[in-house]
Every structure is written in structure tokens, then in C-alpha cells.
């Protein structure tokens, strides 16, 4: 490996590794003991040691291997010193990477096995409550601080920290294995992993600290492409990576100067990231060629059709409706049905749109409908096109009352004003 | 319509919270308050002393009884309240769902029984 643009400063180098390789290192250290907490502890020690030694002795040729070696030795020390609450019986396995005598120190980084996928399958194991999958992955695979993850959920960090500790203890004590699922089990297990990554992406965009959530979104997108690289034959893994690439491509086009939300079809395409769009299309094409369409691929396909407006200047609503039809066949959700109704209105006019919106009643009870903000926002838009200002106003008011996201509320309030002004 | 959110949680879980934990808890509640204010639904909030400091007064039976403690001895205690002004229960529930304490306790939503314009008997 020829180092290109590598920082010369040892501290900067350690920080870069912490960012890029944290999950790989935790995964290797935890994969043999199933003890994620211990792996994180010894890795933190190893980073502290690197900060002391590298400035004096220079950056080692293979910094990741150096860190793994130091961390593994530390595990050995803890085990020997007796308070080995953590590694019962599998200690020999801990040394495995070093068993050839030379140690990982001499391996090139490319030869260090990538165990992140196993770590992700462990984090999203069905024996763990699904609400902890995403936070656990963000902490162990992406290296986010608990406080940052907790803030994104509007949750005190002490609460989240307790839950993470509990989940890691369960992984160790209940013996949740660090293995890839059998082929028969792959689809449901992979779905849980992909949902968790998607969850990290979809986290509270309405935070005070937008930079931090933007950072989480791009890290989640990165994670999705790691999975796609490691499982290149899994169409949904490719589909999610494509979907997140498209979505991330639009992040600078989503808000106006007043922080108001801008819906996809109104966005300035010159603010879309062309590189990410290209990457999304490559991933999607690979997924589609595998010939087994499913939810993430279809959602990515809808996004892809929207994004082609950047080249053609037009949106093919007819085709978008067709893909929504296929999506609802596979995964009938209220969200998809509402989005389909909006697309139907674009393709065939507001009356057809309103009829399509009525199909949402088949998927949700009246009480549930009263909590569905997108339903009321869509209904308001269509009523406005119909010229029914009172109904439009009612819809907007209901949608606004259900909106806790600031930028969406700013947008809806503007829409309601415009609707009233035309009356 | 005015609604009050009652935030019930297990106080013992906070016993070993560090100052950093408290700081971060103040921050997420601060974020929540800011969002309520931005939405124009915020009326009032309070953070309550632990239930052990509560005093319950009753006059059931005619005689005034003062009890040193909370009214009910369950695992979860009232730890705070938010008063919000939203159109209906659906909207109140949307905000209750977003309250930080919903993650570690229960939030009870109750509509105000106060007549419009406040208590006519209040000074």
C-alpha cells in the first residue's frame, strides 16, 4: 500500500484510524470472545498508547495491526491478572491472529480480516430488542459517542448507555454468536441489519446540531456501501446502498434559506451531488441484474427516476406510479400508499390522486389515520388543486398540528398561506 | 385545547447518574422545549423534586390529612410536567411521543379541565 495523502502527524493519523478503522478493529477483537465491551475497552487503551508512543517512535508501518497487537496483548494481561470477568475459556482464540508468530504487525491493512459484517449481524440479532439494533451498530461499528447517539434520539445518554451495556452483556452471556447467518436464514437476518442502517440514516434531521446529524447520515451511507461490498450478491444490500446514496445526494437541496423543507420535485437539481447519483445508479443496476426485486430496490428505483430530472428536466410520473404499484404489492405500508397517491395525482390529475388517497383507508383505521401527518399534508395539497380551500385549510391545519419537525412545519405553513391567498 | 403531559419514571435509575449525564439530559430536554416553543405549542414546564419530598394533602372524610410522601407508592413517580396548547389529542400525543422521558418512563396526557380564559374563581 502506498500511503497517499496520509497525515504525517501521529495524532492526526491516530484520529484518522479511529474514524476509518474503529469498527474493523472492534469487530476483530470482539469476534473471538463475543465481548464487545471488553473489545472497546482494550482498543481505547491501545489508542491511548498510540498517542504516547507514535509521536516518539514514529507511526508504525501498519498502524491498524499495531493497535490490534497492543489491544490483544492487553486482553491477555487482563485475563492473566485474574479479573477475567470477560474471557471464559476462549482465550486461545483471542491470540489467534498472532499465532503465526509474526503478529498482525506485519500484515498489510488489506490482509486484516474484515469482521464488521459479523459484528453487524450480532448487533441486529433477533434476540436483541429491535430498538437497540441501530444505536448498538452506531456505537460499535461506527464509533459514535453515546451522548451523540442519545441526542439524535432526544434521549438522556444515561438511559441509552444502560441499554447498550445491557445489550452487550446479553450478547456475551447469552452466547449470541459472531457468525454470518445460514443461507436459509439470510434474508430475514439481513433485513434486520439493513433496517438498522436505514434507522441510522433516518435519525432526527431536525436536530439543533445539523452538522452532527449530517455526519451520521453519511456514516450510515458508508455502512450501507460496506455491506454492499461484502455481500455483492445480495440485491437488497445493493438496493439500500443505492437508496441512501440517492438520498444523501440531495441533502444540500432539501432546505431553503428560511430552513423550510423543499419537496423532491421542487428541488434545485444543480444542488444534487452527481457523484453520489452515479454511484447510486451503478449499485441499483447491479441489484436489478440479480433479478429479485424487493423493498429497498424499488424505493431506490423510485428515487432514481426522480433523480433523472437532473438530466432530462422532466419527471416520469407514470413510471413512478408503476414502481409504487409494485412496491405496494410487496410491502403494503401507509407511507407507500400515500406517496403513490401523490404520484398518481401528478400523472393523472388531482381527482385520480384523491381516489388513490382513499385506498389508504384500507391500510389504516380511522384512529390511525388521525396520526398520519403525510396523509393530511397530501390531502391538503390535492384539495387545494381541486379548488376546495376550506378542505385544504383543514388538511394543512391537521398536518401542521401533527408535525414535530421544524423545517416541514415551515413549509406546510407557507403552503397553507399560499392556498388561502388564492381563495 | 390545553393538555398536560405527566412524565412518570423510575427515580432509582437516576441514582448513579454522573454530572455529564445530567448535563446531557438537560440538553435533550432543552432541545425538546425549544422544539415545542418553535411550534408555538409550549405553555409551561416544571421539573419536580424527587417523590420522597412530596407531601400529599387530602380532606376525604372531612378531616384534613397530611401524608409525608407521594399519593401512590408504585415503581414510577411523577418527575415533571409539560403544559402544551395544541388543537386536539392526536397532536398532544405526537408531542408526548417525542418527549425524552418517554424512553425511560411513561408520559400521561390529560386535557385541561380549566374553563376557557382560566379559572373564573381565581383572584
Contact criterion met (CB below 8 Å) for A59 and A13: yes
Contact A150 B93 (CB under 8 A): no
All three cell numbers of A285, joined, read: 443496476
Domain annotation covers residue A391: yes
Helix axes A130-140, A183-202, angle to 10 degrees: 80
Mean pLDDT over all residues of chain A? 86
All three cell numbers of B14, joined, read: 437516576
Please tell me which of the candidates B18, B99, B103 has its beta carbon nearest to residue A159.
B103
Q: What ipTM score was computed for the predicted complex, to two decimals?
A: 0.71
* Boundary-marking domain end, from A87, A113, A136: A87
Please tell me which of the candidates B25, B38, B88 has its beta carbon nearest to residue A401.
B88
Domain annotation covers residue A221: no
* Boundary-marking domain end, from A87, A106, A140: A87
Residues in CB range of A412: below 8 A, 6 or more apart: A377, A380, A396, A399, A400, A403
- In this prediction the pTM is 0.81
Q: What is the chain B residue with the closest CA to A405?
A: B35
Contact B95 A162 (CB under 8 A): no
Q: Mutation test of the interface with chain B: which of A134, A146, A150, A159, choosing the one with the most B Cβ atoms within 10 A?
A: A159
B59 lies within 8 A of chain A by CB = no
- Please compute the mean of the pLDDT values over residues A72-79 and round it to a whole number: 85
Write out the residue range of the structural domain in which residue A376 sits: 324-423
Contact B90 A208 (CB under 8 A): no
B24 lies within 8 A of chain A by CB = yes
Report the pLDDT value the prediction gives residue A403, as an integer from 0 to 100: 92
Contact A150 B28 (CB under 8 A): yes
Q: Would you kindly state where each structural domain of chain B is located, as residue ranges?
A: 2-48+76-111
Contact B95 A409 (CB under 8 A): no
A409 lies within 8 A of chain B by CB = yes
Dihedral angle sign, alpha carbons of residues A66, A68, A69, A70: positive
Domain annotation covers residue A282: no
Q: How many domains does chain A have?
A: 2
CATH number, domain containing residue A370: 1.25.40
Domain annotation covers residue A3: no
Lowest mean pLDDT, pick from A102-106, A165-169, A337-341, B7-11: A102-106
For residue A56, count other CB atoms closer than 10 A to its CB: 7
| Total residue length of chain B | 123
pLDDT at A186 over 70: yes
Residues of chain A with C-beta less than 8 angstroms from the C-beta of B25: 156-158
- For A211, the enclosing helix (H) or strand (E) is helix A210-230
- Please compute the mean of the pLDDT values over residues B13-39 and round it to a whole number: 87
User: For residue B66, which of B76, B57, B75 has the smallest C-alpha distance?
Assistant: B57
Domain annotation covers residue A21: yes
Contact criterion met (CB below 8 Å) for A315 and A305: yes
Domain annotation covers residue A298: no
Please tell me which of the candidates A162, A208, A373 has its beta carbon nearest to residue B31.
A208
* Boundary-marking domain end, from A39, A59, A87: A87
Q: Mutation test of the interface with chain B: which of A129, A376, A404, A408, choosing the one with the most B Cβ atoms within 10 A?
A: A404
Contact B21 A156 (CB under 8 A): yes
The verdict on domain B2-48+76-111 having CATH code 3.30.300.90 is no
Q: What is the pLDDT of residues A254-295, one digit of tens each?
A: 888 888 899 999 999 999 999 999 999 999 999 999 999 999
- Please compute the mean of the pLDDT values over residues B96-105 and round it to a whole number: 87
Residues of chain A with C-beta less than 8 angstroms from the C-beta of B21: 156-158, 161
Report the pLDDT value the prediction gives residue A209, as an integer from 0 to 100: 56
Mean pLDDT over all residues of chain B? 81
In whole angstroms, what is the distance from residue A138 CA to residue A125 CA? Answer: 15
Q: What is the pLDDT of residues A361-415, one digit of tens each?
A: 888 888 788 989 999 999 999 999 999 999 999 999 999 999 988 889 999 999 9
A158 lies within 8 A of chain B by CB = yes
Q: Mutation test of the interface with chain B: which of A160, A210, A367, A401, choosing the one with the most B Cβ atoms within 10 A?
A: A401
- Please compute the mean of the pLDDT values over residues A30-58 and round it to a whole number: 89
Domain annotation covers residue A344: yes
Domain annotation covers residue A291: no
Report the pLDDT value the prediction gives residue A100, as an integer from 0 to 100: 41
Amino acid at each position: 500500500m502506498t500511503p497517499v495523502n496520509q497525515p504525517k502527524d501521529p495524532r492526526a493519523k491516530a484520529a484518522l484510524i479511529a474514524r476509518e478503522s474503529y469498527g474493523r478493529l472492534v469487530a476483530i477483537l470482539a469476534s473471538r470472545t463475543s465481548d464487545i465491551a471488553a473489545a472497546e475497552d482494550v482498543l481505547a487503551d491501545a489508542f491511548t498508547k498510540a498517542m504516547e508512543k507514535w509521536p516518539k517512535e514514529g507511526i508504525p508501518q501498519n498502524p491498524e495491526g499495531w493497535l490490534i497487537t497492543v489491544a490483544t496483548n492487553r486482553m491477555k494481561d487482563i485475563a492473566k491478572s485474574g479479573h477475567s470477568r470477560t474471557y471464559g475459556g476462549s482465550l486461545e482464540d483471542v491470540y489467534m491472529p498472532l499465532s503465526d508468530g509474526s503478529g498482525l504487525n506485519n500484515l498489510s491493512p488489506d490482509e486484516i480480516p474484515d469482521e464488521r459484517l459479523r459484528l453487524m449481524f450480532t448487533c441486529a440479532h433477533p434476540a436483541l430488542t429491535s430498538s437497540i439494533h441501530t444505536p448498538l451498530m452506531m456505537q460499535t461499528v461506527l464509533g459514535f459517542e453515546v451522548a451523540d447517539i442519545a441526542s439524535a434520539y432526544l434521549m438522556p445518554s444515561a438511559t441509552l448507555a444502560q441499554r447498550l451495556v445491557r445489550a452487550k452483556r446479553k450478547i456475551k452471556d447469552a452466547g449470541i454468536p459472531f457468525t454470518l447467518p445460514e443461507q436459509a436464514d439470510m434474508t430475514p437476518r439481513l433485513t434486520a441489519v439493513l433496517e438498522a442502517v436505514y434507522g441510522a440514516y433516518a435519525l432526527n434531521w431536525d436536530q439543533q446540531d445539523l452538522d452532527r446529524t449530517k455526519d451520521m447520515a453519511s456514516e450510515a451511507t458508508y455502512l450501507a456501501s460496506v455491506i454492499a461490498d461484502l455481500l455483492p450478491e445480495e440485491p437488497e444490500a445493493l438496493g439500500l446502498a443505492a437508496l441512501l446514496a440517492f438520498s444523501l445526494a440531495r441533502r444540500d437541496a432539501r432546505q431553503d434559506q428560511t430552513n423550510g423543507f423543499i419537496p423532491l420535485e421542487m428541488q434545485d437539481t444543480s444542488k444534487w451531488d452527481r457523484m453520489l447519483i452515479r454511484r447510486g445508479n451503478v449499485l441499483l443496476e447491479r441489484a436489478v441484474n440479480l433479478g429479485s426485486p424487493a423493498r429497498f430496490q424499488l424505493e431506490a428505483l423510485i428515487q432514481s427516476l426522480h433523480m433523472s430530472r437532473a438530466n432530462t428536466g422532466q419527471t416520469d410520473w407514470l413510471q413512478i406510479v408503476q414502481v409504487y404499484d409494485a412496491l405496494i404489492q410487496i410491502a403494503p405500508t401507509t407511507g407507500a400508499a400515500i406517496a403513490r397517491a401523490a404520484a398518481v395525482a401528478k400523472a393523472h390529475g388531482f381527482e385520480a390522486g384523491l381516489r388513490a388517497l382513499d385506498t389508504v383507508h384500507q391500510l389504516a383505521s380511522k384512529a390511525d389515520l388521525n396520526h398520519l401527518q403525510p396523509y393530511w399534508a397530501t390531502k391538503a395539497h390535492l384539495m387545494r388543486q381541486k379548488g376546495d380551500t376550506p378542505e385544504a385549510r383543514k388538511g394543512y391545519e391537521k398536518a401542521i398540528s401533527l408535525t414535530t419537525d421544524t423545517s416541514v412545519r415551515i413549509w406546510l405553513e407557507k403552503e397553507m398561506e399560499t392556498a388561502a391567498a388564492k381563495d | 385545547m390545553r393538555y398536560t403531559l405527566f412524565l412518570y419514571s423510575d427515580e432509582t435509575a437516576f441514582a448513579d447518574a454522573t454530572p455529564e449525564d445530567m448535563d446531557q439530559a438537560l440538553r435533550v430536554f432543552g432541545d425538546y422545549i425549544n422544539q415545542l416553543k418553535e411550534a408555538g405549542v409550549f405553555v409551561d414546564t416544571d421539573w419536580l423534586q424527587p417523590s420522597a419530598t412530596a407531601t400529599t394533602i387530602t380532606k376525604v372524610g372531612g378531616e384534613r390529612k397530611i401524608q409525608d410522601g407521594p399519593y401512590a407508592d408504585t415503581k414510577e413517580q411523577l418527575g415533571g410536567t409539560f403544559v402544551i396548547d395544541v388543537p386536539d389529542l392526536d397532536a398532544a400525543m405526537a408531542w408526548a411521543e417525542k418527549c425524552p422521558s418517554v424512553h425511560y418512563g411513561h408520559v400521561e396526557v390529560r386535557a385541561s379541565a380549566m374553563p376557557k380564559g382560566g379559572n373564573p374563581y381565581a383572584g
